[in-house]
Structure 1
Amino acid sequence: MATTLLLLAAPVAYARGDGLVRQEVTFRGGGGLVLHGTVLSKDGASGPEPGIVLVGGSGSGPREEYRQEAEAFARAGITTLDFDKRTVGYSLLHRDFGLLADDALAGVRLLQSRSGVNPHQVGLWGFSEGGWVAPLAAARSTDVAFIVTIGGSGYDPLRTETWNLSTHLHHRGVGGPFRRTISGPAAQFMGSTGLFPAAGYDPLPVLEQLHRTPVLALWGDHDTQVPPQESAQIFREALARAGNRHAVIRFVADGAHNGHRTSDGFDRIGGPLFHGKKLGELTPRHAQTMTSWVHAVAAGHPPTSSAAPAPGQALVTTPIPGHARYAWLAPTLLLLGFAAYPVGALLRRGPVLRPVRWLAGFGLLAVVATVACSIAVFVAGDGAAAPVVWSRPASWLVVQALAVAVVVSAGASAAALRRQRLTSTWAVWLRLAPVGLAAVGFVPWAVWWGVAA
């Protein structure tokens, strides 16, 4: 849906003595939401300039995070809109890339309306999540003259995030078994329950629509959050299928996920602090790569398609089955089975045996702890795996101990039942059958979830 551009307040220009003019602007994005931003331009610029709208990555995304890029584009004579990301209609559990694309297009129209900007040469810069949003916006509107992406993924968000987590867990010293849990059953659980927003968004159909829009797709050669080698291949092949003759694939030397300076992808060297963490320095070479490409496009000479050699990638991504209902159905049935025994005790139906009571209790704890320990990594990141003991999170050792307790108590329960020689009545069966079936089903489920590894 088209978004009507509306400036809500007269912009006020100011400068900091660094050769740039800044104007605070307020405009309406998707759904009429009021957005706030800063337009940066070169002081004393003459003639119509190209323009670019910065589309940030995931999270709250205040404009300050992208100040280095905004200033680099502006110093190069490219009028830049850097705006605060929406907080309405966007949250930890909800993503609407279409709504974010509407915000980006509203920003494009804002720059097109400004004197000193060539309305036919306004494009988008998209970082990380913006690597999904910027192409979507360009596919929806011919107003987008070009696209620059940095750290864009060729895969859906869930597959991308599992690779990100696996890579960071590997860096922490976590072994393969727990990483396979995260990229396998835990990821399927997150996707099937809807706990991971926009899990299955496929960027391929959008990329294949960009047959005329020039694209500069960049990745840091030390990107540890998006698989650079695989994503670059997907971008290249998809844009080639679209018939795009101006798709340039490049890699930023010593670049992290955001293209800024790093030694290994896990640190950031120099640059300002953002929320107490270094952003890393935007190197002059990286800035020059982007700005010179934009000027070539604006001059009517977009570079022809080419692809630089991709850097190595330590880990490969893992496909996540769609609609894996068994991922949440199995633990749900196990919980119901183990819970049936204490519920029966409250209702005073059937016999009460201490070993079976322990089995039900350990079973409930083991299932909940298995799922919770894995989900914590998706919610809080790889830091949730600390401390690491014997190549696995210490919390996972607790989960494995609970699983052993389930097996031991199941054996003790079976022995107690043989000793008791209970009369086979409906009350006995109704009380013992659910927990017995849950104990039997727990073993293959625990093996699949990686608890037994």
Structure 2
Amino acid sequence: MVTGERVRDVTFPSVDVVLSGTFAGPGSRDPAPGVVMVGGSGPSDRTNDNFFPPIQRGLVEAGFAVLSYDKRGVGSSSGDWLAGTIDDFAADAAAALDFLRCQPGVQAETTGLFGHSEGGWVVLRAAARGNVPWVVTNGCPGMTPAAQDRYALATALQSIAGITPHDVEVTLAVYDQLVEAGRRGADFDEATRLVGSFSIPASVEDLFGEYWSETDESLWEFTKRKQDHNPIPDVLRLRCPHLASFGGADELVPVADSIGLFAAAACHAERHPRATLTVELFPHADHRVQVHGGTALVPGYVETLVRWITERRDTSSQS
């Protein structure tokens, strides 16, 4: 729970679900800009596995109102995230934004979106479709889930002591075959048979076994729907400033490639003049911009968010 004088649990409707979350506002009754925080992949709740609270606390202490919520089908929210799509999640983020903007004491015109990891894809889709003054993504890949997951798998493989290049190549070939199976619409039984047909190297059997053991029919179908989502068309449609923040030691996302893709989109001739791009890279921080083995946010992260959003808020207020 976020500390503050105005903290309460809330519910609000989206297209076909009722979402539950936490609203936290500063003690001051002056109009406050708002931030909707959208969690990452999997069954993320309003805390995003305890990643959000210190960020929320810092934002509230800086005078912001913050809303975070349980993903559909998680915690107290209705629905099923495994039956959803990026479009569904974007509709939920837009509903959260509308709800926060309607709260007493919240300055609607300066209230925007923050999305972590998969949540970055979600808020980019919502911002591309709606009237949003600014959008922040954290650890958001600039490429498809299929490409990002392959990078994460390759990084994990390289960390195994004594692994050979051949073992890495064989394991990634299995992954590539699964991606292609998803693209041609293979069902879960076919995908399972495909995995069983490969001789997984002993050195990576535990890692790949853990990866595949977490997959069931529902997750396989969800993965098929999501794997080729490309965030760049949404980035090209933005009509607002975008802050893309990354940890320099992120082992899940190809950071340099993502920055390059976002920068190339920002240079596109048809890009809206208000759609500026700011990149903040925090060396030595991980996917969650945390350091010391994931025990603390990298110093200066919250202050960077506050400064950047405040500058955008001031610009929006004057326009």
TM-score (norm 2): 0.78
Which residue number in structure 2 is paired with residue 73 of structure 1?
59
Question: Residue 326 of structure 1 corresponds to which residue in structure 2?
Answer: none
| Cα offset, 1:58, TM superposition | 0.3
Deviation (angstroms), 1:54: 0.5
Partner residue of 2:30?
Answer: 47
Query: Counterparts of 1:27-66 in structure 2 under 5 Å?
Result: 27-31=12-16, 33-43=17-27, 45-64=28-47, 65=49, 66=52
The corresponding residue for 1:412 is none
Structure 1: runs of 5+ lacking an equivalent = 1-14, 271-280, 303-453
Q: Which whole-Å CA distance do the structure 2 matches of 1:200 and 1:55 have between them?
A: 21
SS of structure 2 residue aligned to 1:237: helix
Q: Give yes or no for contact 1:20–1:74 (8 Å, CA) kept in 2.
A: no
> What residue in structure 2 maps to residue 203 of structure 1?
231
Q: Structure 1 residues 134 and 175 mapped into 2: Cα distance closer, same or farther (>3 Å)?
A: farther
Local SS of the residue matching 1:299: helix
Matched residue of 2:37: which SS? strand
| In the alignment, structure 1 residue 160 sits paired with structure 2 residue 151 | no
Alpha-carbon deviations, 1:359-380, whole Å to 9, x = none? xxxxxxxxxxxxxxxxxxxxxx
Tell me: higher relative CO, structure 1 or 2? Use CA pairs within 8 A at least 6 residues apart: 2
Alignment partner of 1:258 is 2:241: no
SS in 2 for 1:123: strand
Equivalent position of 1:296 in the other structure: 311
How many residues are paired up? 266
* Superposed counterparts of 1:120-131, under 5 Å: 120-131=109-120
Shift of residue 78 of structure 1?
A: 1.1
* Alpha-carbon contact 1:20-1:75 (below 8 Å) kept: no
- Counterpart for residue 386 of structure 1: none
Shift of 1:301: 7.0
Residue 26 in 1 paired to residue 11 in 2?
yes
1:248 aligned onto 2:282: no
**Match runs of 1:375-386 below 5 Å:** none
- For 1:236, give the aligned amino acid: A
Give, as a single letter, the amino acid of the residue that structure 2 aligns with 1:51: G
8 A contact 1:163–1:183 mirrored in 2: no
Partners of 1:226 and 1:250 in 2: CA distance: 15
Deviates more, 1:127-136 or 1:20-29: 20-29
Cα 1:186–1:19, aligned 2, differ >3 Å: closer, same or farther?
A: closer
Distance 2:145 2:126 in 1: 17
Letter in 1 for 2:57: E
Are the structure 2 counterparts of residues 35 and 95 from structure 1 closer, same or farther at C-alpha, using a change threshold of 3 Å? Answer: closer
Q: What SS does structure 1 have at the residue aligned with 2:258? A: helix
Whole-Å separation in 2 of the counterparts to 1:224 and 1:27: 35
The structure with the largest alpha-carbon Rg is 1
The ranges of structure 1 where at least 4 consecutive aligned residues each deviate by more than 4 angstroms after the TM superposition are: none
Counterpart for residue 104 of structure 1 = 93
Q: Distance in 2 between matches of 1:285 and 1:172?
A: 33
Deviation, structure 1 residue 183: 3.1
Partner of 1:226: 253
Per-residue CA deviation, residues 301-354 of structure 1 (Å, 9 max, x unaligned), is 79xxxxxxxxxxxxxxxxxxxxxxxxxxxxxxxxxxxxxxxxxxxxxxxxxxxx
Q: Shift of residue 239 of structure 1?
A: 2.2
String of CA shifts for 1:256-278, please: whole Å, max 9, x gaps. 1011114xxxx32x2xxxxxxxx
In the alignment, does 2:301 pair up with 1:286? yes
Taking a change above 3 Å as real, the CA distance of residues 27 and 107 of structure 1, as seen in their structure-2 partners, is same
CA contact (8 A) 2:114 2:137 kept: yes
Q: Would you say the 8 A contact 2:120–2:139 is kept in 1? A: yes
Instruction: Tell me the SS of whatever aligns to 1:122.
Output: strand
- Aligned residue in 2 for 1:113: 102
SS of equivalent to 2:291: coil
Check 1:301–1:108 CA distance in 2 against 1; reply closer, same or farther (3 A cut).
closer
Unaligned runs of 5+ in 2: 74-78, 186-219
State the TM-score, normalizing by the size of structure 1: 0.56
CA deviations over 1:166-215 (Å, ceiling 9, x no partner): 101111233322322343342232342353331111111111111x2111
Contact 1:123–1:145 under 8 Å retained in 2? yes
CA contact (8 A) 2:24 2:66 kept: yes
1:65-93 superposed Cα distances (whole Å, 9 cap, x missing partner): 322222221111111001111123422xx
> Offset at 1:252?
1.5
Determine the structure 2 residue equivalent to 1:172. 160
Determine the C-alpha separation between the residues in 2 that align with 1:223 and 1:20.
35
Deviation at 1:34, TM superposition (A): 1.1
For residues 130 and 228 of structure 1, the distance between their equivalents in structure 2, rounded to whole angstroms, comes to 16
Which residue number in structure 2 is paired with residue 145 of structure 1? 133
Provide the identity percentage.
28
Q: Per the alignment, in what secondary structure is the counterpart of residue 249 of structure 1? A: strand
Q: Compare 247-256 and 159-168 and name the one that shifted more.
A: 247-256
Compute the RMSD of aligned alpha carbons. 2.0
Q: What secondary structure does 2:257 align onto?
A: helix
Hey, what does 2:243 align to over in structure 1?
Answer: 216
Contact kept in structure 2, 1:89 and 1:96, CA below 8 Å: no
